[in-house]
Structure 1
Amino acid sequence: MLLTVKGVTHRHPGGTRDVLRDVSFEVARGESVALTGESGSGKSTLLHMLAALDHPLRGCIEFGGQDITALSDKAASQLRRSHIALVFQQFNLVPALSVADNIALHAKLGQRFDASWTEEVTARLGLSELVGRYPEQISGGQQQRVAIARALALRPDLLLADEPTGNLDETASAEVLRLMLDLVQDTGCALFLVTHSAAIAARCASHLHLSGGQVRVQST
């Protein structure tokens, strides 16, 4: 298994209840997993822990057999730089960099930059005509596609996405999901995405639902 979550429990600082309670599941290489749940149920919190951006109160998260909850900040940063890509709801683009440089940034930092693959991703996301612009010069939906292209350009071992199609129209959403699933098929990457869309969840190989702090497998 690429990712193994064992008995993860978490409570926000100052909180009085556990937002996650004894959560356990596995994600294999080449598997696509959708996580659904009501707003505020802890989906983004769980996603951040899978990326070693946050630590559980109890439990273990293993990536490639390594317990990432025990990593130092430096080691966790290196893991994300080379092996885990994230698509945040906030995009997190660098204002001073062009669209082209934003797309290439993660792959270059992780020393996994492939010019032809990056060009293909850029084209398939409809961004080729925008590569010379800056984030402030493009729309929110276009910024979201840039953030997705940046994550895909890395060809990560694990792709984590938080509502990756939230600001996109139906056509763009379909192409984004197709690209992500192609990456899974072509490279053996694992995809774990948070979504409110039943249609998107149905396209993934596995569907988990978070409710009352616990994760349950849904039929797909």
Structure 2
Amino acid sequence: MLLSFENVSKRYSGQARPVLTEVSFSVAPGETVALTGESGSGKSTLLHLAAALDQADAGRVLVNDLSLSDLDDRNASQLRRRQVALVFQQFNLIPSLSVRQNIDLHAKLGQRLDATWTSHLIQNLGLSEFLDRFPEELSGGQQQRVAIARALALRPPLLLADEPTGNLDEKASQDVLRLMLGLVGDAGSGLLLVTHSTQIAGQLDRHLHLQSGVVTELSRADRPEVAE
């Protein structure tokens, strides 16, 4: 499996209840998986564990059979440079870099910059005319497309997305999601996407739900129908 959680538990100091309790699930290569849950339910914590940005108190998180709890800071950083990419709700673009420089950044750090693949991303995300601009000159939807291009430029085995369309209106959200899913498929990446929207979750291969620290998988019958 590309990503595996094996009986993972996590508690923060001062909290009466654990954020995660013996969570187990997996994501296969090329698979798209949505994670929903109420605000404060621990969705972002789970994503941070998958990105080796935090450590579980018990259980194991593995990426390509590599246990993340065994990594020191240097090796965790190397994992994020080469195997895992993140798309954040707040974009996290570097304001002093142009759109082109932002897009190339992660792939350069991971030594996996491919001009042909990057051009494919830029064209499909409609960013060709903005490459010399800076993030503050773009709309929210355009900035989110840049953030997606930057993450996918690495062609990562695992893409993690935290509410990637949460700041966009409904139409822009659907447009960005459609483009992202298409390009994830082109890249061959596995995707774990955190969202508050059951409609968005219904467009992915699988739908997990986090409640009271426990992850359950919703069957097709339990998932909302998505309008064509």
* TM-score class normalised by the smaller sequence: over 0.9
Distance 2:42 2:127 in 1: 32
Moved more, 89-98 or 207-216: 89-98
Deviation per residue, 1:93-129 (Å, 9 max, x gap): 1111101100111011111111122122122222222
Alignment match, 1:93: 93
Partner SS state of residue 203, structure 1: coil
Contact 2:107–2:154, Cα closer than 8 Å, also in 1: yes
Deviation per residue, 1:15-53 (Å, 9 max, x gap): 222011110001111111000001110000100100000
Counterpart of 1:93, as a letter, is L
Alignment match, 2:213: 213
Distance 1:153 1:186 in 2: 11
Shift of 1:133: 1.0
Runs (5+) with no aligned partner, structure 1: none
Counterpart of 1:190, as a letter, is G
Distance 1:3 1:34 in 2: 14
Moved more, 115-124 or 36-45: 115-124
| 1:75 and 2:82 are equivalent in the alignment | no
Give the direction of change, closer, same or farther, for the CA distance of 1:186–1:54 in structure 2 (3 Å limit).
Answer: same
Deviation per residue, 1:61-85 (Å, 9 max, x gap): 0111110122101100000001100
Deviation per residue, 1:161-201 (Å, 9 max, x gap): 00111123444333432333334433431110001122211
**TM-score when normalising by structure 1:** 0.94
Moved more, 23-32 or 169-178: 169-178
Alignment of 1:69-218 (within 5 A): 69-218=69-218
Give the direction of change, closer, same or farther, for the CA distance of 1:188–1:139 in structure 2 (3 Å limit).
Answer: closer
Alignment match, 1:37: 37
Distance 1:118 1:95 in 2: 20
Distance 1:113 1:130 in 2: 19
Contact 1:31–1:184, Cα closer than 8 Å, also in 2: no
Contact 2:148–2:180, Cα closer than 8 Å, also in 1: no
**TM-score when normalising by structure 2:** 0.91
Counterpart of 1:37, as a letter, is G
Number of residues paired by the alignment? 220
Shift of 1:130: 1.3
Partner SS state of residue 142, structure 2: helix
Please provide the CA RMSD for this pair.
1.5
Alignment match, 1:17: 17
Counterpart of 2:217, as a letter, is V
Contact 1:103–1:147, Cα closer than 8 Å, also in 2: yes
Deviation per residue, 1:112-156 (Å, 9 max, x gap): 111122122122222222111112222333222211111111110
Alignment match, 1:6: 6
Distance 1:54 1:115 in 2: 33
Runs (5+) with no aligned partner, structure 2: 221-228
